[in-house]
Structure 1
Amino acid sequence: MGLKADLRKSALTQRRALSQQEIRTLSLQIADRFFAGFAPTAGETVHTFLPILQHSEINTWPIIERIWQEFPAVQVAVPVANAQDFSMTHFLFTPGTQLQENKWGIPEPVNALPLPESEITTVLVPLVAFDLNGHRVGYGKGFYDRFLALLPQTSQKLGLALFPPVEPIDDVHAKDLTLDAVITPEQVWRFGASSAKS
């Protein structure tokens, strides 16, 4: 069994050892698997995080730009974090949307159209590590735990991970939601009713 704090520390060390080129290559592989297994359809809204590239996070820009180019009837949404109560609000993200960095260096939209959680059909969830039960280790602030709890039950919760699953997470909390799947460069790990890996 593993504790979140220990798993987080180990995974971040492993991630920082990757070069920027390795991050880009792995991110492109994740993008390909997303479109192969979870390509959005007209009228859907895909919510994604914007990466802090200097922190070796998965680069979601290939997914965003491909949606803009190949799926014009699909909306992209991105979050803005509220540091006071660890909540997030969500905004329509288009090629013309201006961005500015927040206190954590995360790009956030400026003067964008707000979107309610009820419109979000798929969420690309950032994580540091995940286990075979579909539980994730994040950065420890709880932003996504609060957000995911507000989504319609039909919304897909897809984690994006650079590395395979870790040993089972020991300190899972009652409010921790299970992901529907996690996309890694090598394969897709599915949980719940459709738990076969692909």
Structure 2
Amino acid sequence: MQKRKTLSSDEVFLLSEAIFKNFVNFFKPFPGQKVHIFLPIAKFNEINTQIFVEYFLNNGIRVFVPKVVDQKLISIEICKDSLFETSSWGILEPVSNQDSGIKEFDLVITPVLYCDGLGNRVGYGKGFYDSFFQELYGKPKKNRGELLQSR
């Protein structure tokens, strides 16, 4: 986390673009897929996932983003016209509180501080994604960092 905080906004942007290109080459997303993707906390220099969101929306891929409502992470489907507001945590979230009810995604992209050798993620310790993953149908595949290592 300390190392990430030292990155300039230009470095975050360039690294985000590189990760995005690796993601598309590795996973080859296609129209009709359902992707759940986090929106970044800018003050933590998280990857700029807006690049991903724009690509998905422009290519017929359904996009779902998280929102915490009543201490539970729900999944809200967004479109190009969706309205957003900044949460108390500094995260851009949809204005809507309408949970999509979707429990099966083709891809789930989550924030992470690091992953161990088995692909287990360590986040910020609130447990929202741990609970979210338990509710999903099937067992999500873990990438274990091959995306980052391939650049």
Task: Please report the TM-score for the alignment, with normalisation by the length of structure 2.
Answer: 0.89
Deviation at 1:151, TM superposition (A): 1.1
CA deviation after TM superposition for structure 1 residue 62, in Å: 0.8
Cα distance, 1:121 vs structure 2: 2.1
2:94 is the alignment partner of 1:109: yes
For the residues of structure 2 that align with 1:107 and 1:123, how far apart are their CA atoms? 18
| Matches for 1:48-59 after TM superposition, within 5 Å | 48-59=37-48
Give 1:112 deviation, angstroms. Answer: 6.7
Residue 119 of structure 1 and its aligned partner are, at CA, apart by 4.0
Query: Contact 2:115–2:144 at 8 Å: present in 1 too?
Result: no
Would the alpha carbon gap of residues 99 and 21 (structure 1) be closer, same or farther in structure 2, given more than 3 Å must change? same
Describe the SS at the equivalent of 1:149. helix
Q: Secondary structure of the residue that 1:123 maps to in structure 2? A: strand
SS in 2 for 1:118: coil
> Match of 2:65, SS?
strand
2:83 matched residue in structure 1: 98
Asked whether the equivalents of residues 93 and 112 of structure 1 are also in contact (C-alpha less than 8 Å), the reply is no
Q: Secondary structure, in 3 states, of the residue corresponding to 1:79? A: strand
Given the superposition, is the C-alpha separation of residues 14 and 141 from structure 1 closer, same or farther in structure 2, using an over 3 Å criterion? same
Provide closer, same or farther for how the CA distance between residues 110 and 183 of structure 1 changes in structure 2, counting only shifts above 3 A: farther
Deviation, 1:126, is: 0.8
What is the aligned partner in structure 1 of residue 150 from structure 2? 187
Q: CA deviation at 1:63?
A: 0.9
Q: CA RMSD in A?
A: 2.0
| Alignment CA distance shift 1:26-1:184 (3 Å) | farther
1:77, CA displacement in angstroms? 0.4
Is structure 2 residue 31 aligned with structure 1 residue 61? no
Cα deviation, residue 122, structure 1: 1.1
2:28 matched to 1:39? yes
What is the deviation of 1:143? Answer: 0.6
Conservation of the 8 A alpha-carbon contact between 1:130 and 1:136: yes
Cα distance per residue 1:116-175 (max 9 Å; x no partner): 23242210011011121211110000011110111121644xxxxxxxxxxxxxxxxxxx
- Report the Cα distance in structure 1 between the residues aligned to 2:146 and 2:104, rounded to whole angstroms: 23
Does residue 30 (structure 1) correspond to residue 15 (structure 2)? The answer is no
Q: Match for 1:79 among 62, 66, 76?
A: 66
CA shift in 2, pair 1:186/1:21, >3 Å: farther
After TM superposition, the score normalised by the length of structure 1 is 0.69
Q: CA deviation at 1:187?
A: 2.0
CA distance in 2, matches of 1:54, 1:184: 23
**Where do 5+ consecutive residues of structure 1 fail to align?**
1-11, 157-178, 189-198
Unaligned residue ranges in structure 2 (runs of 5+): none
